[in-house]
Amino acid sequence: MQSLQEEKKKNIGNISLFQLCWEFLKIGTIGFGGGWVIIFMIKHRFVEQKQLITDEDFTIGISLSQFLGAFAVNTTSFIGRKLKGIWGSILSTFFFLLPSFVIVCVLTGLYFKFNKLFNFQYLLKGISPVIIALMLSTAFDLSIKIKKDIGFLLIISLVIIGGILNINYVVLLLFSGFFQVLYSHFIKEKEKNLLPIFFIQPNKISYGLPVLFSMIGTPSIITISFIFFGIGFIFFGGGYALLPLLQNIFVNKLHWISNHDFIVGIAISQATPGPFAIIATFLGYYLHGILGALFATFMIFLPAFLFLQILINLQNNFKDNKNVQSFLRGINIAIIGQLILLSYHFFLVTLLPISVISIILLLTSFLFFFIYRIPPLVFIVIGLVYGFFFIK
């Protein structure tokens, strides 16, 4: 028994940089099914089969990977860092994302080439119920882990009302995090004092960011990089939580992409084995070709990558910090509110007039996403078939 444990310890970290990159290239190529499927594949390969990472280290990696950015990408970075240092982290992330990047660029190029030959409006109407179901399922998934109290209801209400009143989404997101920290500390004693602040402050703070967006102008490589780098710093709650943020910035504020093309981007990003955040590749390609795709993808993942490197060094200080946990909880609640609001908005834009089949597809997709965890790609294909053959 002792010799077996010693052999396991000897195996830890015993892999070449080339082999590490090859392993993550394979996972990035076949990892369809969402973040937890990819996490299972990483654990199966590196913890159970190759015994390169201990269960304890892998559990720590999962905890740290959920703070900021894409869960699966962060876990990949963590494994690379543990096994081969900073270069292992960089190259593991690069090769993991490479297959999805290539697929999105190819599909987006084909969309640009052929979208005038086919009536994509029918296809869009076919997949819209699936996209709405996906957003609602994500909102319900996030809400399951969160205690339902007065703070939860206040934040949800603020975000939905704020969205209707066009208050900047980023401000609502950050304010929700800070409010939850205050609520956790003081709500029992100072509930009456906190509520007025809660309703007044967002309007006072929200003027700066829209002005900033209005100054950006046309999309260039510099502006694309700047925006996606900023988005990377507020990328909380997993890939699907990006939907309301990206839609708010690129469709509502900057008007660089239509709702129609944005939904197409969601569908294309779902056709890849990588994280949903690879939608940044679609947006970058849409705005500035291959170079735009490259910079958008790099910049949206860069803040989380840097933050993870810091967390690895300071993991004991942040992992169980109650203020950090409260801040993330507030942001997750805000994301739930935004996903509900965005679902309603997409419903009005894409599903009216209502058809019985579209409603059945929406409800069926939601049930299968939420209960049975069916990969979204399955129902997106069904939606495309429905739109192509049955919507006229």
Mean per-residue pLDDT pooled into runs of 10, the chain (392 residues): 48 80 92 72 86 84 79 92 94 96 93 69 78 81 78 88 79 83 69 42 39 60 92 78 86 89 88 87 95 96 92 69 77 81 82 85 88 78 83 68
> Residue 73: which of 229, 274, 303, 260 has the closest Cα?
274
Task: Specify the pTM.
Answer: 0.73
Return the pLDDT at 187.
Answer: 59
> What backbone torsions phi and psi does residue 261 show, to the nearest 5 degrees?
-70, -30
Q: Do 152 and 330 touch, CB atoms closer than 8 A? A: no
pLDDT digits (tens, 9 = 90+) for 284-330: 999 999 999 999 999 999 999 999 998 888 765 665 677 777 877 88
**How many whole angstroms separate alpha carbon 68 and alpha carbon 324?**
11
Structure tokens at 219: 């999309």
Structure tokens at 252: 């509502």
Return the pLDDT at 81.
Answer: 94
**How many whole angstroms separate alpha carbon 141 and alpha carbon 182?**
25
Return the pLDDT at 87.
Answer: 95
Return the pLDDT at 204.
Answer: 39
Return the pLDDT at 195.
Answer: 41
**How many whole angstroms separate alpha carbon 348 and alpha carbon 257?**
18
Return the pLDDT at 320.
Answer: 63
What is the secondary structure of 176-221 as a DSSP string?
A: HHHHHHHHHHHHHHHHHHHHHHHHHHHHHHTTHHHHHHHHH-S--H
**How many whole angstroms separate alpha carbon 237 and alpha carbon 83?**
27
3-state secondary structure the chain: CHHHHHHHHHHCCCCCHHHHHHHHHHHHHHCCCCHHHHHHHHHHHHHHHCCCCCHHHHHHHHHHCCCCCCHHHHHHHHHHHHHHHHHHHHHHHHHHHHHHHHHHHHHHHHHHHHCCCCCHHHHHHHHHHHHHHHHHHHHHHHHHCCCCCHHHHHHHHHHHHHHHCCCCHHHHHHHHHHHHHHHHHHHHHHHHHHHHHHHHHHHHHCCHHHHHHHHHCCCCHHHHHHHHHHHHHCCCCCHHHHHHHHHHHHHHHCCCCCHHHHHHHHHHHHCCCCCHHHHHHHHHHHHHHHHHHHHHHHHHHHHHHHHHHHHHHCHHHHCCCHHHHHHHHHHHHHHHHHHHHHHHHHHHHHCCCCCHHHHHHHHHHHHHHHCCCCCHHHHHHHHHHHHHHHCC
Q: Do 271 and 377 touch, CB atoms closer than 8 A? A: yes
How many CA atoms lie less than 13 Å away from 184 in the CB half-sphere?
Answer: 17
- Distance linking the first and last C-alpha atoms of the chain: 68
Q: Do 20 and 84 touch, CB atoms closer than 8 A? A: yes
Return the pLDDT at 282.
Answer: 96
Return the pLDDT at 118.
Answer: 56
Return the pLDDT at 77.
Answer: 95
pLDDT digits (tens, 9 = 90+) for 43-54: 888 988 888 998
DSSP state of 354: P
The residue assigned the tokens 């993808």 is: 297
Average pLDDT for the chain: 80
DSSP state of 240: G
> Residue 309: which of 65, 2, 143, 102 has the closest Cα?
65
> Using CB atoms within 10 A of its CB, is residue 251 exposed (0-12), middle (13-18) or buried (19+)?
middle
> Residue 67: which of 340, 323, 245, 370 has the closest Cα?
323
Return the pLDDT at 202.
Answer: 38
> Residue 376: which of 236, 235, 250, 274 has the closest Cα?
274
Return the pLDDT at 192.
Answer: 46
Measured in whole angstroms, how far is the alpha carbon of residue 276 from the centre of its chain?
A: 6
